Structure 1
């Protein structure tokens, strides 16, 4: 069987790269235009110097692209790790952000070593373990946290609160105290981003124009018009406001002076270990899920070796952590754009990193002209997409229990932190499974009966097929890589959860692409917990369908 971790039979990477470099050059340049402002904004929102985001993207493109990274993914800093990075800077620095930044780099370097170990242990399947509702709940919480912080920056106001819920509560005060010139830049940027998203669905030409580029084309001239380069005051509606360079991106004179080395003095502390775990786990999961999603978008339907991709991410993070960069992942938004712009191979990732390196080396003053409010608008746009109301609707359609787990993970994450939120979501998911009839003993170890006849295999699953035992089920299927026909009998499974339904659907597609056949049977006596085709399926112990 060809698993998500097994590359399909395609031309050798160097052959494909050599024949498609022109397409990759164009795509890399267009992605560079998207990545430049996002890297700056993510870095500043993370409590890191703005240039650290550029450093990470350069390492991710120029280095990681040659280490076996997934073909069409773009490596770089991601909004999904802002919360962890900022928490590390604030907690490890204890009021000294410069010290917190260097100590956060140390946790990133150690977490990168953990990711490398994950890759060597072939933990590329890690992304298959975590239930979809928990992962999406975590991402929605990250989106809310990003918006809660960046709305104040967009309005040109420094909030007093620090925690997400308190920051959300302070938004009305910030609206009342907003700086008109800064807020105008921010609001126009936000309108451009959402307007581009809506109109590009109707106007095909707009899809070729990166939305962040439109924002910069408008925001930079506005910053020049308002003379943000120089400290001064102005009066609006009988109120005095001040503006100046503090509302613009601040970059060092040259790239070498931006290199910062980590401080390992507190790396063994409890707080550091917490962030090492979060960087390594959350970063790995996000990166693996993104790489799998990008593979699904690949027009050639190629499959990446996720273990190699995780290795490339780990090595890239190690280098980034040692020179002052942010954590990197295979980033889904830039990767999707990369495919849309016609990328053919991993060369596009390399070119995107190379263009960033050249730009920040030879044109740093142009970056300095970018208003922070414009970057805040881009991050808010990203945050809204992560926590979009449509995500709640999609989850509800899959099942009420999925919405409950999704919402619970979101709320606990907002009230505590990512690790606690994800752990709480997983525990609730297990409790829901037990309430729906899954035996406790079968939650982590599936009972599988195997029958083989020539090139056909029948695997009969008893008790439960749920997210927590899916990896063992998948491993059992993988043992029969040479079988042309694999039949998975779920008739005797009391519960088949949404995560397993989703993963099996992906496996069916993979089997089909490799000329094999995976048949799933035995669900006719199960009733879905919602009408959604991938909803969880439950069966009463006496065989009577639920609701019958």
Structure 2
């Protein structure tokens, strides 16, 4: 737990930073909830838990947790497949899983996950979020699958062009995106207001003053939205599909949180993150969110960077942002109901575009084509299949790529004036390199004595050892192995 004993200067900065983070969090909490297919209030509940619960626990001092755009697609799919009642059970199981992983010291090992897989995961999420929210921005129902979302774009364009209501809603969303993009060029005095809040506020004022016929967020009340999971929800966890969803939630939420922590650590000079404690803090937060039937939470880089830039020095700022969210949800729930859905869709489209590392793709392709391939395959698999299968495919491809790159082997053929032909094998000989190894050996001259020297190998796996044994026995040649010198005289091959 953090201490409230801070000097007045630090206290002032933390309070101001907490207000900035609160203003950033409100539209994002509501927008993520709506895009996830759950009541808007549940996004605020998750934000409150991220502030009051995770914000008071050790781990990373300055990063802020709440509902994240990166989990929107997965939550939407889970709600569509299992129902809102089971979502709480899934989030609760995710939290318990994270607690166990943190207690076992696995948190630090999440940093070993390929960055290309994580970037591919976020790119896939960003693309699905982008294409899906285009429908919401036009007031249309979005298809469920990624390919269907993309295939339906021409029809959506036609609807926008022929329907005045759809065109109006789309214009509100487009205006929201324009404000988000151009806000950094606004006068410094205006930029004290966070861009998401300014964009949503302007869109809300425009639709209200103009009486525009656009859909708004439905409000049910904070207490009415909170629905703890029942027995049926926990029973649903017995299915393989639900277990896969829990695994995907855990992997993505944990990886996103710990990668965010690493990024936040680079932004300030304060205490570094304890990754295992941070993972356990995220687990506690998701356990509480699951009990309340709310959205899963992760550390969110948008809110975290806003917290650091606003001058926060201690964990008090992220805790207080949860207090302001609680007061807002309890005292001003009607304020949510006047927000246009198209404006929130615009905020999420902007967030989805920021998940796609456009500026990094070309340098990555130039310098690390294997990593670029892993990123592209992961993103494409997520868009065309689902989150779980896409991430698994990306991890598998990353492992295969690493195995291929580490199993570098070189065969040097030396033919002295007198004596046998010597083939020296160096590097790491694994089954992945067997075609190369056997191809070189089989192309050696058939009428010369040969000595095979394996003494300089760093690694020799079982498959290659068997292949070398079989080849030398078949050819009747000598060999040096890593454990010793030549084991028999060098006869000429028959």
- Runs (5+) with no aligned partner, structure 1: 1-10, 93-99, 229-242, 441-461, 465-491, 495-548
Match of 1:252 among 213, 220, 228: 220
2:38 is the alignment partner of 1:48: yes
1:439-478 → structure 2 map (5 Å cutoff):
none
Q: Give secondary structure in 1 for the equivalent of 2:95.
A: helix
Q: Tell me by how many angstroms 1:62 deviates.
A: 1.2
Match of 1:27 in 2: 17
Q: SS where residue 236 of structure 2 aligns?
A: coil
- Does the 8 Å contact 2:32/2:348 carry over to 1? yes
Distance 1:183 1:419 in 2: 31
1:196 aligns with 2:196: no
Counterpart in 2 of 1:405? 374
In 2: Cα distance, 1:76 partner to 1:31 partner = 11
Q: TM-score, normalised by structure 2?
A: 0.78
Contact 1:190 1:377 in 2 (8 A): yes
Which one of the candidate residues 270, 276, 290 is aligned to 2:240?
270
For 2:217, what is the secondary structure of its paired residue?
coil
Please name the residue that 2:151 is paired with. 169
1:115 aligned residue: 98
Query: Deviation per CA, 1:180-212, whole angstroms, max 9, x where unpaired?
Result: 221221111011111124x26xx6555533101
Change (3 A) 1:131 1:388: closer
**Partner SS state of residue 65, structure 2:** strand
Contact 2:64–2:318 at 8 Å: present in 1 too? yes
- Structure 2 unaligned regions, length at least 5: 161-165, 410-426, 430-456, 460-494
Whether the aligned pair in 2 keeps the contact of 1:223 and 1:369 (CA below 8 Å) is no
How many Å apart are 1:127 and its aligned residue? 2.2
1:74 pairs, out of 64, 69, 72, with 64
CA distance in 2, matches of 1:83, 1:68: 29
**CA displacement at 1:41 relative to structure 2:** 0.7
Per-residue deviation, residues 482-532 of structure 1 (Å, max 9, x unmatched): xxxxxxxxxx989xxxxxxxxxxxxxxxxxxxxxxxxxxxxxxxxxxxxxx
- Deviation at residue 176 of structure 1 after TM alignment: 2.0
The Cα shift of 1:155 comes to: 1.6
Deviation for aligned residue 1:177: 1.2
Mapped to 2, the partners of 1:261 and 1:436 lie a distance apart of 49
CA RMSD of aligned residues (A): 2.4
Larger Rg: 2
Pair 1:184 & 2:171 matched:
yes
How far did residue 422 of structure 1 move?
2.0
Map Cα deviations across residues 521-547 of structure 1 (whole Å, 9 max, x no partner).
xxxxxxxxxxxxxxxxxxxxxxxxxxx
Q: Give the C-alpha shift of residue 308 in structure 1.
A: 1.4
The answer as to whether partners of 2:64 and 2:303 remain within 8 angstroms in 1 is yes
Write 1 or 2 for the structure with the bigger share of helix.
Answer: 2
**Mean Cα deviation higher: 168-177 or 374-383:** 168-177
The equivalent of 2:474 in structure 1 is none
User: Is the contact made by 2:146 and 2:385 (CA closer than 8 Å) also made in structure 1?
Assistant: no
Aligned length: 408
Q: Work out whether residues 65 and 346 of structure 1, in 8 Å CA contact, stay in contact via their aligned partners in 2.
A: yes
Is 1:221 matched up with 2:208?
no
Question: Normalised by the size of structure 1, how large is the TM-score?
Answer: 0.70
Whether the aligned pair in 1 keeps the contact of 2:4 and 2:316 (CA below 8 Å) is no
Distance in 1 separating the partners of 2:24 and 2:363: 28
Task: Verify: 1:357 aligned to 2:330, yes or no.
Answer: no
Q: How far apart are the structure 2 equivalents of 1:226 and 1:204?
A: 28
Q: Following TM superposition, by how much is the alpha carbon of 1:395 offset from its aligned partner in structure 2, in angstroms? A: 2.4
Residue 335 of structure 2: aligned partner: 366
